Structure 1
Amino acid sequence: MENIMTDSERGPQVVVVTGAGSGLGRAMSVALLDAGHHVVLVGRNRSTLEETAAGRGHADIAVADVTSDRSVCSLFATVVERFGRLDVLVNNAGTFGPAASVDNLDVDAWNTTVAVNLTGVFLCAREAMRIMKAQDPRGGRIINNGSISAHTPRPSSAAYTATKHGVSGLTKSISLDGRAFDICCTQIDIGNAATDMTSGIGHAVLQPDGSTRAEPTFDPRHVADTIVHLVDLPLDVTVPTLTIMANRMPYVGRG
């Protein structure tokens, strides 16, 4: 039987965070670094990754494109070369995609959204699982950033909503395929965390009834604290899904 890391053996973990250069990815990465973990900050822009690292000794910067098979394979090969193992993958990189109804949705914009939000999650999870299965002690944790839209869409969000529903199916498949190898997978669905990406929500956003109004938001540090808690769990504990959102935001029925 393969070895699995016990609670007493757990110390600083090796964590890969995609989309680490801004927003939730930055908040998650900083919280994990402050908790003492080794964090590989992944993104396409080195300067924003350096801002996230802010000179912290346990931060490693990796410029990569999650939509590229070659880039993702190179990224994870570098992680193994540098650290010898991988304990956690946080699949955070994502894009809102086009704001358009299905009949007005450009196919190139659709394909770009799918590439980032779904194919990118798959490529990173595939490489992470390969490493986690083979390492000793084996196992690890994969955390996928879903969305409230994985359950209930906003108007004119077909591409984004479809990809986040796809992440739900992928998360379940990772959980099923990985559990015999001590690989846990969580989907965290986040609603209205206050970041640059969601800045418009706090001012005015289209509602299902055609009106436009501001919605409540909440501090991203609460998402970051949740990620740290998930990372600190032993591998005999899994959290399949978790929703964290601003109180009073429209959710059920988007009303």
Structure 2
Amino acid sequence: MLSVTGVTLHYGSSQILNGVDLTARKGEVTCVMGTNGVGKTSLLKAISGTHPWSGGSYTLDGEEIRHASAHMLAQKGVAYVPQGREIFPFLTVQENLETGFACLPRAERHVPDEVFDLFPILREFLSRRGGDLSGGQQQQLAIARALVTRPKLLLLDEPTEGIQPNIIKQIGEVIRRLRARGDMAIVLVEQYFDFAFDLGDRFVVLERGAPKLTGNAAEMKRQTLLQAVSV
């Protein structure tokens, strides 16, 4: 589904990513881990098209991607849930969900019933402003808005950050249900070790913008991974 090889990325003269390889397959969760400032969010920005990468190759569903815009990648099925959620505080929940329509053909511009099956609280709050929701509810809204686009590749950046434990559990169950469908690849950037370890099928640990450790869940020992992501 997704393959990036040797990806580099710069902010001005500063190199943030240095030869990162990552593979994400449908029906799997690929976890990107590491301490703060190692390039995890920058990798998602490169994959989503929200920041241009400097070098390397990027293949999506067998198609080579050459510096496509975020809008074009969204049309190709890439959905990005950024750190901090970035919902529109003065728009209602309904209106926030409908912002996902921008990359869809007109015939598909409706909110799928599955969104409310996964996040039933949002149906109750459709007329409530996004800024009036709790942090956990805003995170659910941000993921739901991404799902409105019918993604083939879902990028999640720190979905547990600042969220109460019961919502973290719900988000974990949503990720499991999406994975079980088998038609979506999921890339998860996550600092909460137990959450990531329980969900991950593949792991990529970054250090100073480069891969430090990679492997799949079957071969990755918990202690080895924990040591790799520790300061």
TM surpasses 0.5: no
TM-score, length basis structure 1: 0.32
Identify, as 1 or 2, the structure richer in helix: 1
Where relative contact order (Cα < 8 A, 6+ residues apart) is larger, the structure is 2
Identify, as 1 or 2, the structure richer in strand: 2
**Which of these two proteins has the greater Rg computed from alpha carbons?**
1
